[in-house]
Structure 1
């Protein structure tokens, strides 16, 4: 248990330092793009971006246990998604992937959970060449407005 706490604290402090570095680099350069060499990291910063592998990256703030599925908000940091499934045994994760594939008008197999299986902050990947980023953003905004 102590090892898990240490890893969590290390992860949190790394995330805080990383966000401070991004804030400082935005102040100095005014740019919102990041240069990453890892293929799973996004090439741009934001809720909807494209990684170097050409996959669309969706940053999700999940809200499990809702009465119905829906997109609650779209910010620069994440897409707020309420999920009508409890956060037990991966039910909310499965429902999230199913719901987002429906929103994006894709097959369920085209959308996958990349990170955050046990967290509210999740990262979904949309398969390469299935939809472009502008269309994905448009569909998400439309779903958010329709509630």
Structure 2
């Protein structure tokens, strides 16, 4: 059976110079489980120690992603799902070359996420 080398990944979308990432958040995890838990074709699963009150968990999600992509915290924004476990994050300075095609950018982002998965 033939499998194409590039498969459209549905958790990554591009709008202007920003990347939108679909994430599922698990709150109240142990410190050793804080970070990227898993990456699938549909979403990124992120674990944070903070509880979902007073936007503590949202702030920690943004901190985790800004550290991963080595961008300022102000470049990571929750655009959907402020009070939900499923969130849409927008990252404006993700550290990829925007002149590259979408396939290459998606591959770089996916590789960076998979390398960050907690073992």
TM over 0.5: yes
Shift of 1:61: 0.3
User: How many residue pairs end up in the alignment?
Assistant: 102
Of the two, which has the highest radius of gyration?
A: 1
Uncovered stretches (5+) of structure 1, i.e. residues with no partner: 1-31, 34-44
Q: Report the TM-score when normalising by structure 1.
A: 0.63
Q: Give unpaired runs (5+ residues) of structure 2.
A: 1-6, 97-104
CA distance in 2, matches of 1:56, 1:131: 11
Which of 1 and 2 has higher RCO (CA within 8 Å, sep 6+)?
2
In structure 2, the CA distance between the partners of 1:130 and 1:77, relative to structure 1 (3 Å rule), is closer
Alignment of 1:41-52 (within 5 A): 46-51=10-15
Structure holding more strand per residue: 2
Matches within 5 A, 1:1-147: 46-51=10-15, 53-68=16-31, 69-127=34-92, 130-132=94-96, 133=105, 134-144=107-117, 146-147=118-119
Please give the alpha-carbon distance, in whole angstroms, between the structure 1 residues aligned to 2:49 and 2:65.
Answer: 13
